[in-house]
Structure 1
Amino acid sequence: MARRIIIDTDPGQDDAVAILLALASPEIELLGLTAVAGNVPLHLTSRNARMVCELAGRTDIPVFAGCDAPLERKLVTAEHVHGKSGLDGPDLPEPTMALQDRHAVDFIIDTLRAEPAGTVTLCPLGPLTNIASAFRRAPDIIDRVQEIVLMGGAYFEVGNYTPAAEFNIYVDPEAAAEVFASGIPLVVMPLDVTHKALVTGPRNEAIRALGTPVGKAVAEMTDFFERFDLEKYGSAGAPLHDPCVTAYLLKPEIFSGRHINVEIETVSELTLGMTVADWWGVSGRAPNATFIGDLDSDAFFTLLTERLAKL
């Protein structure tokens, strides 16, 4: 049976690739996309999610707009990374498919209540505001979630937005703290693994060489996205953070990590949003997340390129 998922997202070029990989994979049944404010404000993330669906020819996927601000803080965005639209790079047409008239949080709640318990996986690719809001409003759904596989946080790599914090967690640390404390099985794709999923020149040219609208758009997204990382890190290419979530659902065997305790810092000015990952088991706190640390990058890009060719 196909893995039934909801992708919660703030597209973002890497979010777009993660969504496209899911849409190209018959092992995944995407029940809906829920947009959240993050990389750019909500009106743009909900627009971008629909643009990606139309790029893939999948206007059947319902898209819902969710929370436009974190639970307790002002919104911080990342146009300096993703461009003013959040999806700068390719010249994609404005979406014609309509947003659904339900709020994303209502869709998450209603879906988890309607589907058999333990059959829906949540895949957050941005701040965890929508997920935590759903859990606050409907705590009965928490036990109905099969698993949460998310992109966020860091350990050895520490932060990409502040010295201590990765962007997704930093934007809404209170939401992240509630999700990590929920008791739901968690698989976390931190910067430690996503920075190993580098789109080098040859890898990007292989995607461009697909010769399809999807291949061209993804290559152009990466062309734009990598300028920030090349300048900041001096790396060989742009890290594809969010597609690690989708790839894990498809081929978990190409990833490795540890089941550890992860707590979220919500108070300190210096380390706000830090994922305090007890990698060495020194705290005595019970493990609550599988924190991924490595992947087979060649297998990752083989999977990505083969699947994008199907769209």
Structure 2
Amino acid sequence: MKNIIIDCDPGHDDALAILTAIANSNKLNILGITTIGGNQTLEKVTTNAKNILEFVNSTIPLAMGQSEPLTKDLCVAPEAHGESGMDGPYFNGEKYPITSNNAILFMYETIMKCNDKVILVGLGPLTNIALLIKVIPDVRSKIEYISIMGGGLDRGNKTPLAEFNIYVDPEAAQIVFNSGIPVVMSGLDVTEQAEITIEEINSLKNKGRVSHLAYELLHFYNKSGRQFGFINSPIHDLCAVAYILNPKMFSGTSYYVDVVTEGKARGLTFADKRLVSNQAKNILVLEKVNREMFISELINALEVLDKI
């Protein structure tokens, strides 16, 4: 059983990652979910998290994190996820309770109380996680590794060079990457392979209560993705959870990876691929995914939740 905390900015793909994690309660002990301003404002993404958790009658503690990046103003992405940050489904309300308004302190106390090490799952900008390990460094020995969705060695999506999550707060990403804690990076190199087809999306319609929710999420997400050139829909954030569930689904290479924080390349994640380098390898960069196994993981999780 792996102990995890999910730090996120829901988000269609965040929602599917959360649902998949919840469905795998025999493998994952979700100690808490924390929110971060990213895809949309902190208030909106927290509402989205509440709606998802309430929809599946969850009791997982939910904590609100930072509303802004470390040094710059927040840059949101309504063009990708809509004005709510998770357009598509209709929810009846947001009754889900907030456990804490201080995600940093919540994460610290939760991790330190846990008997075993904890995996942090970063599905948005890395502001919360960076502050945790920078401000309270004794927590580092209790973190097994950090599994993130962010970055890309070959390309960006917010800019030609920078992926959105890293672009929003590259200073935070730089802190996390150079923290000495092992990091598994699901960047665009692998997440754009982790796509669900239109036929697979349509197969979820009216299949079950949670499967239909996934259909509504993915139906909007697929239409939105057309403006970026996608026909099928990459489920980016799910990769960071799927890796924890089944690392054999992926292959990758360890590199020294750092982040550019200034100029036109702000947000760029770059790897030292020299044959001889004095840089210690700090990131496992996932490069390939078995798409069929990946989609089966999602569909099986939705079927589990349909029965609850």
TM-score range, shorter chain: over 0.9
Alignment of structure 1 residues 27-46 onto 2, 5 Å: 27-46=27-46
**Shift of the alpha carbon at 1:280?**
5.4
Match status 1:221 vs 2:217 = yes
Q: Hey, what does 2:169 align to over in structure 1? A: 172
Q: State the identity %.
A: 38
- The answer to whether the Cα contact below 8 Å between 1:258 and 1:279 also exists between their aligned partners in 2 is no
For 2:120, give the aligned amino acid: L
**Shift of the alpha carbon at 1:282?**
5.9
Q: 1:102-143: per-residue Cα shift (whole Å, max 9, x none)?
A: 411111111222223x51100010000000111122011112
Match status 1:239 vs 2:234 = yes
Rounded to whole Å, the distance in 2 between the matches of 1:278 and 1:292 is 15
Unaligned runs of 5+ in 2: none
Q: Secondary structure of 1:29's match?
A: strand
Q: 1:48-94: per-residue Cα shift (whole Å, max 9, x none)?
A: 11111112221x11110000000111110011110011110111222
Match status 1:286 vs 2:280 = yes
Rounded to whole Å, the distance in 2 between the matches of 1:309 and 1:208 is 12
Rounded to whole Å, the distance in 2 between the matches of 1:41 and 1:283 is 40
Q: Hey, what does 1:142 align to over in structure 2? A: 140
Q: Secondary structure of 1:207's match?
A: coil
Q: Secondary structure of 1:179's match?
A: helix
Match status 1:273 vs 2:267 = yes
Match status 1:253 vs 2:252 = no
Alignment of structure 1 residues 65-80 onto 2, 5 Å: 65-80=64-79
TM-score (norm 2): 0.95
Q: Secondary structure of 1:53's match?
A: helix
- The answer to whether the Cα contact below 8 Å between 1:260 and 1:281 also exists between their aligned partners in 2 is no
Q: Note closer, same or farther for the CA distance 1:195–1:282 as it changes in structure 2 (3 Å cut).
A: farther
Q: 1:182-222: per-residue Cα shift (whole Å, max 9, x none)?
A: 0101101000111011121122123335x222111111111
Rounded to whole Å, the distance in 2 between the matches of 1:33 and 1:216 is 23
Q: 1:262-299: per-residue Cα shift (whole Å, max 9, x none)?
A: 001112x2100100123455654221010000000011
- The answer to whether the Cα contact below 8 Å between 1:142 and 1:184 also exists between their aligned partners in 2 is yes
Q: 1:135-162: per-residue Cα shift (whole Å, max 9, x none)?
A: 1220111121011011000012x11001
Alignment of structure 1 residues 80-119 onto 2, 5 Å: 80-116=79-115, 119=117
- The answer to whether the Cα contact below 8 Å between 1:198 and 1:236 also exists between their aligned partners in 2 is no
Rounded to whole Å, the distance in 2 between the matches of 1:206 and 1:299 is 17
Q: Note closer, same or farther for the CA distance 1:144–1:202 as it changes in structure 2 (3 Å cut).
A: same
For 1:285, give the aligned amino acid: Q
* C-alpha RMSD over aligned residues: 1.3
Q: Secondary structure of 2:157's match?
A: coil
- The answer to whether the Cα contact below 8 Å between 1:121 and 1:145 also exists between their aligned partners in 2 is yes
Q: 1:199-248: per-residue Cα shift (whole Å, max 9, x none)?
A: 21122123335x22211111111111122322222x33111000111111
Rounded to whole Å, the distance in 1 between the matches of 2:205 and 2:120 is 30
4+ residue runs over 6 A deviation: none
Rounded to whole Å, the distance in 1 between the matches of 2:208 and 2:93 is 19
Q: Secondary structure of 2:204's match?
A: helix
TM-score (norm 1): 0.94
Q: Secondary structure of 1:11's match?
A: coil
Rounded to whole Å, the distance in 2 between the matches of 1:281 and 1:67 is 39
- The answer to whether the Cα contact below 8 Å between 1:129 and 1:172 also exists between their aligned partners in 2 is yes
